[in-house]
Structure 1
């Protein structure tokens, strides 16, 4: 997978996994990494799927309707890529914190839905519920920040609450943060995520 890796300061064992939204790339979320943890290593990945020329992490059938078969395949693909990258760049595979926006947040959530050891924690900006009707692994010890907009036309409030409930029932510690916004990512939301990270990770 096309990506950027930046080694962090020796004192930090954390690697931030950056996952962009639809139409973005591996450069988009780099400014967020410094705000969340300026000492951490950074692994920023570009989605392998193209939708009318726009990079994504998995296919969708329509707005808000995921291609579930492709989602499962791409989730496994990203999970295995993290295994390989940890060896290649010599970072701690058990200390990865994902920061995802929209489509990137969805693939991060999907990894947590499928693997108990995929992520130590996740900052999910405007995610949806990736899959329904499946049992989740034991996520005890995991921490999740969900950033949501009260007027988000893509991720209704009920969707954010449902995702919080599903992850919480699997054992994760989940914080749901609201902004009076739509689907866009605001500075206030990033600041809230940074504050949460410093208190929990």
Structure 2
């Protein structure tokens, strides 16, 4: 088992290892922790396995997945290590829990969104969808990483029009970049800053449930 990350797992109340469940890997922002993501994901726990992952680097009163040289410029070694470690963690936990391999989702905010977008671009069909809130895709990921998103990948990108840390243009650029590679991209600019608004919260929950239900229905059709 991968020991690089501290994480907590929540399973639905009717969890049965004879079934398969969609899963959400929830990744926090810089200076936050996995408990913030568990609180954010709580309404989805009835239908999804939730895995909230703590970044491995102490950052103030919280944690981070990587440090930065400047905005948009992560420390490459730390970034690469977290990407590799998260890939392994997703693989390990998918073998340990009753996770549907066709319905693996990643939700991230800020640094977590950066990780979510990167992982979805390099993990192929291992990831069904992501919710990336208020992040960016590092240039070295676009230029040097092996980009191969899954053919069925679904992407929900959101960005506040008053974000004082990452300007709205970054969110627009994220959406445009994914549209170059896949067809199922939802982009939601919203009135607000670098935080999750109540309206955005409702929107991404609805999107996740709908996408997971569609994926489950597709699988049933294939197996009929």
User: Fold match, TM over 0.5?
Assistant: yes
* Equivalent position of 2:130 in the other structure: 122
* Equivalent position of 1:7 in the other structure: 11
Q: Which stretches in structure 2 are left out of the alignment for 5+ residues?
A: 213-224
* Equivalent position of 1:161 in the other structure: 172
Following superposition of structure 1 onto structure 2, how do residues 138-149 of structure 1 map, counting pairs within 5 Å?
A: 138-149=149-160
When residues 55 and 118 of structure 1 are mapped into structure 2, their CA distance, relative to the original with a 3 A threshold, is farther
Post-superposition Cα deviations, 1:99-118, rounded to whole Å, max 9, x if no partner, equal 11111111111112222134
When residues 191 and 154 of structure 1 are mapped into structure 2, their CA distance, relative to the original with a 3 A threshold, is same
CA root-mean-square deviation: 2.0
* Equivalent position of 1:21 in the other structure: 29
Using the size of structure 2 for normalisation, the TM-score is: 0.81
Post-superposition Cα deviations, 1:155-182, rounded to whole Å, max 9, x if no partner, equal 2122111111111211151111121111
* Equivalent position of 1:136 in the other structure: 147
- Preserved CA contact (<8 Å) 2:29 2:109: yes
Using the size of structure 1 for normalisation, the TM-score is: 0.90
SS at match of 2:188: strand
When residues 145 and 45 of structure 1 are mapped into structure 2, their CA distance, relative to the original with a 3 A threshold, is same
**Match for 1:102 among 101, 110, 118?**
110
- Preserved CA contact (<8 Å) 1:125 1:148: yes
Q: Which has the larger Rg?
A: 2
What displacement does 1:5 show? 0.9
Higher helix share: 2
